Amino acid sequence: MRFPAQIIAGALGVLAEACPLAAQEDLVTDISQHQISIRSNFTGADLLLFGTVGSTPSDERDIVIVVRGPDAPVVVRRKERIGGIWVNYGSAEVENMPGYYAVVSTRPLEEIAPASVLERYGIGVKYLGLRPPEGKAAPLPKPYVEAATRIRSREDLFVEQPGKVLFLGTSLFRATIGMPANVPDGLYTARVYLFSEGNVLQAQTSTLFVNKVGFERLVFDFAQTRPLAYGILAVLIALFAGWAASAIFRGR
Partner 1 sequence: MQLYLPIAELSVNALIILGMGGAVGFLSGMFGVGGGFLMTPLLIFTGIPPAVAVATEANQIVASSVSGALVHWRRGAVDVKMGSFLLSGGVAGSFVGVWIFALLRSVGQVDLLIFLSYVVFLGIIGTLMLVESVHAIMRARKAGATVPHRRGQISWMRALPLRTRFRKSRLYMSVIPPLAIGALVGILAAIMGVGGGFIMIPAMIYLLRMPTNVVVGTSLFQIIFVTGLVTILHAVENQTVDVVLALLLLIGGVVGAQFGARAGQNLRGEQLRALLALMVIAVCLRLLFDLVVEPEERYELAPAGETDR
Instruction: Give the strand pairing for 45-53 and 172-179.
Output: antiparallel
Under the criterion CB under 8 A, does residue 251 sit at the interface with partner 1?
Answer: no
Q: Of 6, 11, 24, 84, which one interacts with partner 1 (CB under 8 A)?
A: 84
Burial track 147-159 (b if 16+ CB lie within 10 A, e otherwise): ebbeebeeebbbb
246 in contact with partner 1 (CB under 8 A):
yes
Q: Interacting stretch for partner 1, rule CB under 8 A, among 28-36, 123-131, 142-150, 166-174?
A: 142-150
Rule CB under 8 A: choose which of 53, 64, 74, 175 binds partner 1. 74
Q: How far is the CB of 197 from partner 1 (least distance, A)?
A: 38
Stretch that binds partner 1, among 7-15, 56-64, 91-99, 163-171 (CB under 8 A): 91-99
Torsion, Cα 16 17 21 27, to 10 degrees, reads -30
**Minimum CB–partner distance for residue 248 and partner 1 (Å):** 8
In the complex, least distance from residue 62 CB atom to partner 1, rounded to whole angstroms: 32
Burial label, 83 (beta-carbon count in 10 A; 0-12, 13-18, 19+):
exposed
169: left (phi over 0), alpha (psi -120 to 50) or beta: left
DSSP 175-194: EEEEE-TTPPPEEEEEEEEE
Site for partner 1 contains 130 (CB under 8 A): no
Nearer to partner 1, 13 or 214 (CB): 214
| Helix-then-strand count for the chain, H and E | 6, 12
Cβ atoms of 23 and 54 within 8 Å: the answer is no
DSSP 130-181: --PPTT--SPPPHHHHHHHHHHHHHTTSEEEEET--EEETTTEEEEEEEE-T
Enumerate residues 156-195 that contact partner 1 by CB under 8 A: 181-182
Alpha-carbon distance values, 12 to 15, 44, 138, 151, 206 (Å): 8, 24, 30, 28, 7
Site string for partner 1, 15-54 (x = CB under 8 A): -----------------------xxxxxx-----------
**Amino acid at site 17:** E
Instruction: For residue 209, state whether it binds partner 1 (rule: CB under 8 A).
Output: no
* Among the listed residues 5, 15, 48, 219, the single contact to partner 1 using CB under 8 A: 219
CB nearer to partner 1: give 70 or 198.
Answer: 70
| Residue ranges binding partner 1 (CB under 8 A) | 38-43, 72-79, 81, 84-88, 91, 93-94, 97, 133, 143-144, 147-148, 150-152, 154, 181-182, 212, 215-217, 219-220, 223-224, 227-228, 230-235, 237-239, 241-243, 245-246, 249, 252
